[in-house]
Structure 1
């Protein structure tokens, strides 16, 4: 009954704030203290008692009250840090402030006009101590993440009167778990794990400014929250990074292996590992070394110390610790037991693979260590398992490589935005695989390439890799290897020849402009947006650069044969022509297959934007308890609600 009364009092305070039409004075501490009183003791209550619709209404109708609420919550956290968070009441108040801010901040970030609010100075700060609100919040949260007897175990005598001053505390002595750069393994305390989780959720919510940026701007967006968290200005950057990495890599969900132990005891470490892993991949995705801040007047960005520290790990024992930790969690869903569901399963493979990718990307020594290690199969097997599992879930076609190439071929002409330099890098990534395609259906690939080439004046470069892939595919499937190869690829030839004959002739005819039906989306006269129209001179300017020799030889052989059979037999049915092509052969006619051209992956703005979108999509889906971003206006990707 008492618990219901405290929730009712908290709810009354929320209603009172949202119903006020006049600004509430910032010095009315009795009113504001209702929101972080120690009576509300879990994050689920905060999310339930503060509806999203009321936060939006407060933002639109009483923006001063919303600003004051956030300012007072941050101010309360700063004051608790200044007093070193010595009492249990202060600790509970700090957690309630963090939970309330976690609930409110996403609704503020969805409105671009509020982004600058967090980087304005505190009203009460002196001119010589002017600190943006966001920096004050990050500083306070990082201090609390290494607060003895609150989030870490004290190494000195306990008691409020003997508490260490947080402002002068050396957080490197309080790293959360043993591993990289820290040999000692501190004792685990469930309440410390829960407090760290709530505080890290707040940092993750603040860093989610990225998901409220349109995808066209995602690759150039500078996230100031992440930049400051990982900058030299944050004195806890090194111990925080080490704590996050060691917490993830030392986590063993099975433990001693007692059957059904996960049903008997609650695991307070799993939520902490999940949010720590998400913070890691989000911060490691913010690489400022080769980019300039396009959102501000600054010419350079501060170094990302998380990336710097990761790249400098070099000891074999550290590599072993990281690799064993990652593979342990990757292989966890694959583990088989005699008793059904007797072992705990964690599904963190998507975030783990992102982390593994980042580690190999930023630390080449680690990548070479993995490749030389006997445990490399411990990485490969779960990757193949999850690829196959995802393939079944998403109803992929029988050949995933064919599907990927066809979908990539369509990329340049999908959407309303001009093709960016992402397409060549993305398409090049599929080219090394093309000689190995077994059943690729090219009905759509040439169509997509040709339509995209004539879509805009600058659209033809991204489609050249598609033509190159066809140039590589045809000799490999039909050239110089005997009748077996030709027979195996009959289905491929029937699709390829019919489509190439129909569509590639548009490229070889130098005089005609596009008709409205030829990939122009019905625009009159084949005119693209802006008034540009494809012409013979424009086609001639780039046609000679395309590798069309194999395709042209294919047409020179097949077109006369198809025309002759149509005239002799009076064929009007396309199925008869396809049957003729299916049983034909081109052995000896096409060039001898040339050596496979290997192209390595090249990072570019387009793939980086896709990577970031995928990563935040995973994080969005994972955070359902509490639902941090549910019902907010996400712009980075589309939310489909059933």
Structure 2
């Protein structure tokens, strides 16, 4: 369509679709739509959003809310025309010249459907029509009798020449309702079957092939595209084949994008029919060919073989587009949790991978992409240290494989490969921590670490000495660092919690869960690492923090459990940690003697000191108001457990290891917040411990331990069954601090303290401190070696360690799906400028799109305060939930 005149004529016919409804379906006029356009840009430019929306309305005005009206009849006819042509081109030689390639018309039909579907999905008034038109058994279409201005006869929408007549009258039988007669499988299923076959169609997505008569072969061949998993030899796709595959996958993504138009709090529980059919109904051979083709295409990508300088843009090269879209389709299929309970065949296939060579292939493919910005090739290849655009999606793929395939998880964790992935995951978390638009990426990285840390072997492998830290990217380097991978991980966690101004408050529990999971296995923690753990304790045991909200003590409990695990399981191997704990004994004893009166008096004293020094009372008065605009608050998963999605088998919706053997724990639904400022270099041997134990009630005193007294003991790893909630904090004006929101309705009382203080897991630490005091009797100096504490043992038999695994819920799945679709949307916008994006300008409900400078987009996921949906889900998505403990993960 190079000539302007032909484009104007075509555009006039597009206008006619909306202006003149009920154009006869058997008219040859419809053929121009798949014959004339020459490129995808032609279709997207000549079918503007206004043109498409005009087809979705049955009247000149948008129908009132809640009104279910069908679209213009021309929209149905256009869809029938495209699907019918796709079927004809796949099943018979329907050209006058049988040697003419079919690609041109196939692509135009695909492009038209790709353009139409998002505008159908966004229209709430078409929801019932879309469900009936695409997913009910196909019924006859009906012509419009223009002469008499009334409904006419019935015909087959995919074959207008086939008419249906009324049954003969007068035979005493009731007339058949032709309009409700089933004449075929649902139209949506037929379309998906056609598209899947086109992914393996000779002369289109596979190399050219002729039949015995020398004509183009029309037989579908389910050959895996590239060598790798399940295949030793590639089929040899040409650039043209790759271009065609890109357009087919793009339409499949458009079909599956129904999820984009569902609010995040219900998306995981909503039956998305295209995804249900794709993931639960495929023939086994088709599913294996699909998943292997997609995975091999993604994992064989190697930027080192590309031209210099390396170009990672998706816009020009068909190979790059194919890799990116293949990864997105693979993840959209694999992440879908079918609400009907049927097994997702793609997850099932991923869970059954078991060959070591397949795992090596997967690991190499993942690291090739993820290590690109970390590799040190910049001196030879300028511009090579750049993130591959689909690196976030590769992290999702890695996380999925860890969750669904326990053999792959063992392959990664039981070798030094785990060290590489810890560094890589931390790199992406650290790189994104200061960018509000990337907080979902940070959350995902933390949950990947939590998933890995549930394996005992992971904690044991972290004791390897970390070398080469100085060669890491700037984002990962730690000044004067020396120690093990455990030291590196704990220090990085401390950095994420103390340098992000409260942006990551919702994942503090997950960060501390990682520390909890590795604590029983870490040995020889360095002094700096030990001090950072005590820094966190000093902050969350402060009066200000504990009195701010009635649930803040849960976070303190979680940290104490981690510290107990180190003392109970690795006491002799962590002399520096023991020394730091002993030097901080006044803080633990102050916590033991905590009272409301004493804590309030201490806060008043601190406030008076600041006033006397002329320091502003920003952090003292209470607390700043919560960050209602927090990205994390809008994205964070929740603590409520979903009955439909809990305890799924390994190949099911979302499983980690032997999930069917786990026992779900009780859950706490409250949230906690940090408040006290924290300096990463603060000394923990300061004697200025808060005087928070004054005016303690006799009843409370009777419950406190003396020496190795009678504290109700909750061991660090085996007695708590609570899911600890998220933190909701406010930004701080300084670095290395964590600030908190307050509960204005909460008034602490002595009765409230007695509900949790006697049950804090303090027994182990106080027992150690009591032993140290006796060993140190009369000495002027604080002991500096564990030899002086020799002979100390926990007062009771130590239970075996257990893990705190992340627990999926329907709302956390909503966050996860919004994260994935956010990546898909952003990638499409970056590739297709202006209104040429598949979903650009449509009314997406899964997340909020924020425009930014330079024409880029920023995603807030789930959808935020710009509409009523976002404001209603902020409270629902306020916390993370994880199971504590799991019996065997």
Q: Taking structure 1 as the reference length, what is the TM-score of the superposition?
A: 0.71
Q: Deviations over 1:246-276 (max 9, x none)?
A: 1111112331x55337599953211000000
Q: Give 1:2's aligned residue.
A: 2
Q: Deviations over 1:442-493 (max 9, x none)?
A: 588646742xx6xxxxxxxxx884353365589899x974588549999x99
Is this contact kept in 1: 2:201–2:221, CA < 8 A?
no
Is this contact kept in 2: 1:151–1:195, CA < 8 A?
yes
Q: Determine the C-alpha separation between the residues in 2 that align with 1:245 and 1:208.
A: 21
Confirm or deny that 1:331 pairs with 2:334. no
Q: Give 1:164's aligned residue.
A: 217
Q: 1:341 aligns with which of 382, 387, 408?
A: 382
Q: 1:283 aligns with which of 324, 333, 355?
A: 333
Is this contact kept in 2: 1:119–1:133, CA < 8 A?
yes
| Cα drift, residue 203 of structure 1 | 0.4
Q: Give 2:557's aligned residue.
A: 468
What SS does the corresponding residue of 2:433 show, helix, strand or coil?
Answer: helix
Confirm or deny that 1:228 pairs with 2:277. yes
Is this contact kept in 2: 1:409–1:466, CA < 8 A?
no
CA 1:470–1:603 in structure 2 vs 1: closer, same or farther (change >3 Å)?
Answer: closer
| Cα drift, residue 615 of structure 1 | 1.4
Confirm or deny that 1:602 pairs with 2:806. yes
Q: Determine the C-alpha separation between the residues in 2 that align with 1:57 and 1:427.
A: 53
Confirm or deny that 1:388 pairs with 2:430. yes
CA 1:47–1:488 in structure 2 vs 1: closer, same or farther (change >3 Å)?
Answer: farther
Q: Deviations over 1:391-426 (max 9, x none)?
A: 243499983135799677679xxxxxxxxxxx9989
Q: Give 2:844's aligned residue.
A: 634
Confirm or deny that 1:196 pairs with 2:245. yes
CA 1:40–1:14 in structure 2 vs 1: closer, same or farther (change >3 Å)?
Answer: same
Q: Give 2:348's aligned residue.
A: 308
What SS does the corresponding residue of 2:848 show, helix, strand or coil?
Answer: coil
| Cα drift, residue 638 of structure 1 | 1.9
Q: Give 1:623's aligned residue.
A: 828
Q: Give 1:551's aligned residue.
A: none
Q: Determine the C-alpha separation between the residues in 1 that align with 2:312 and 2:803.
A: 49
| Cα drift, residue 559 of structure 1 | 4.4
| 1:435-514 → structure 2 map (5 Å cutoff) | 437=533, 439-440=535-536, 442=540, 446=546, 449-450=549-550, 465-466=554-555, 468-469=557-558, 472=561, 481=579, 486=584, 501=599
CA 1:433–1:362 in structure 2 vs 1: closer, same or farther (change >3 Å)?
Answer: closer
Q: Determine the C-alpha separation between the residues in 1 that align with 2:394 and 2:27.
A: 47
Q: Determine the C-alpha separation between the residues in 1 that align with 2:5 and 2:58.
A: 29
Q: Determine the C-alpha separation between the residues in 2 that align with 1:119 and 1:187.
A: 36
Q: Deviations over 1:535-564 (max 9, x none)?
A: xxxxxxx99x999xxxxxx999614289xx
CA 1:448–1:613 in structure 2 vs 1: closer, same or farther (change >3 Å)?
Answer: farther
What SS does the corresponding residue of 2:265 show, helix, strand or coil?
Answer: helix
Q: Determine the C-alpha separation between the residues in 1 that align with 2:383 and 2:327.
A: 25
Q: Give 1:73's aligned residue.
A: 82
Is this contact kept in 2: 1:429–1:599, CA < 8 A?
no
Q: 2:323 aligns with which of 244, 249, 273?
A: 273
Q: Deviations over 1:484-515 (max 9, x none)?
A: 8549999x99xx9999935999xxxxxxxxxx
Q: 1:137 aligns with which of 188, 191, 212?
A: 191
| Cα drift, residue 163 of structure 1 | 3.0
Higher mean alpha-carbon deviation, 320-329 vs 259-268, is at 259-268
| Cα drift, residue 377 of structure 1 | 4.2
Matched positions, count:
537
Confirm or deny that 1:23 pairs with 2:119. no
Q: Determine the C-alpha separation between the residues in 2 that align with 1:9 and 1:89.
A: 26
| Cα drift, residue 588 of structure 1 | 12
Q: Determine the C-alpha separation between the residues in 2 that align with 1:245 and 1:139.
A: 20
Name the Cα RMSD after superposition.
4.7
- Gap regions ≥5 residues in structure 1: 294-299, 412-422, 454-462, 506-516, 522-541, 548-553, 563-585
Q: Rg bigger for which structure?
A: 2
Q: Taking structure 2 as the reference length, what is the TM-score of the superposition?
A: 0.53
Q: Deviations over 1:223-251 (max 9, x none)?
A: 22112112344562221111101111111
Q: 1:362 aligns with which of 390, 395, 404?
A: 404
Q: Give 2:778's aligned residue.
A: none
Is this contact kept in 1: 2:430–2:496, CA < 8 A?
no
Q: Determine the C-alpha separation between the residues in 2 that align with 1:546 and 1:89.
A: 62
Q: Determine the C-alpha separation between the residues in 2 that align with 1:34 and 1:213.
A: 34
Confirm or deny that 1:109 pairs with 2:159. no
Is this contact kept in 2: 1:446–1:499, CA < 8 A?
no
Q: Give 1:296's aligned residue.
A: none
CA 1:503–1:225 in structure 2 vs 1: closer, same or farther (change >3 Å)?
Answer: farther
Higher mean alpha-carbon deviation, 41-50 vs 631-640, is at 41-50
Q: Deviations over 1:79-108 (max 9, x none)?
A: 222226875553111111111111111111
Q: Determine the C-alpha separation between the residues in 2 that align with 1:387 and 1:7.
A: 48
Is this contact kept in 2: 1:446–1:503, CA < 8 A?
no
Higher mean alpha-carbon deviation, 234-243 vs 131-140, is at 234-243
Q: Give 1:35's aligned residue.
A: 33
Higher mean alpha-carbon deviation, 86-95 vs 141-150, is at 86-95
| 1:583-594 → structure 2 map (5 Å cutoff) | 592=768
Confirm or deny that 1:93 pairs with 2:105. yes
Q: Give 1:247's aligned residue.
A: 297
Is this contact kept in 1: 2:246–2:318, CA < 8 A?
no
Is this contact kept in 2: 1:260–1:344, CA < 8 A?
no
Is this contact kept in 2: 1:405–1:427, CA < 8 A?
no
Q: Give 2:43's aligned residue.
A: 46
Q: 2:257 aligns with which of 194, 208, 231?
A: 208
What SS does the corresponding residue of 1:333 show, helix, strand or coil?
Answer: coil
What SS does the corresponding residue of 1:639 show, helix, strand or coil?
Answer: strand
Q: Determine the C-alpha separation between the residues in 2 that align with 1:499 and 1:23.
A: 79
What SS does the corresponding residue of 2:841 show, helix, strand or coil?
Answer: coil
Is this contact kept in 1: 2:433–2:500, CA < 8 A?
no
Q: Determine the C-alpha separation between the residues in 2 that align with 1:590 and 1:374.
A: 37
Q: Give 2:444's aligned residue.
A: none
Q: Deviations over 1:300-320 (max 9, x none)?
A: 53x322112111111111111
Q: Determine the C-alpha separation between the residues in 1 that align with 2:118 and 2:253.
A: 10
| Cα drift, residue 131 of structure 1 | 1.2
Is this contact kept in 2: 1:98–1:198, CA < 8 A?
yes
Q: Determine the C-alpha separation between the residues in 1 that align with 2:420 and 2:578.
A: 39
Higher mean alpha-carbon deviation, 426-435 vs 464-473, is at 426-435
What SS does the corresponding residue of 1:640 show, helix, strand or coil?
Answer: strand
CA 1:254–1:591 in structure 2 vs 1: closer, same or farther (change >3 Å)?
Answer: same
- Gap regions ≥5 residues in structure 2: 60-70, 141-155, 159-163, 165-180, 440-492, 520-529, 568-576, 604-621, 627-666, 673-687, 697-761, 770-793, 853-889
Is this contact kept in 2: 1:212–1:636, CA < 8 A?
yes
Q: Determine the C-alpha separation between the residues in 1 that align with 2:331 and 2:81.
A: 31
CA 1:186–1:343 in structure 2 vs 1: closer, same or farther (change >3 Å)?
Answer: farther
Q: Give 2:791's aligned residue.
A: none
Q: Give 2:857's aligned residue.
A: none
- The runs of at least 4 aligned residues of structure 1 exceeding 6 Å deviation read 395-398, 403-411, 423-427, 473-477, 487-490, 496-500, 517-521, 586-589, 593-597
| Cα drift, residue 321 of structure 1 | 1.2
| Cα drift, residue 354 of structure 1 | 0.5
Q: Determine the C-alpha separation between the residues in 2 that align with 1:409 and 1:385.
A: 19
Q: Compare the two structures and name the one with the higher helix fraction.
A: 1
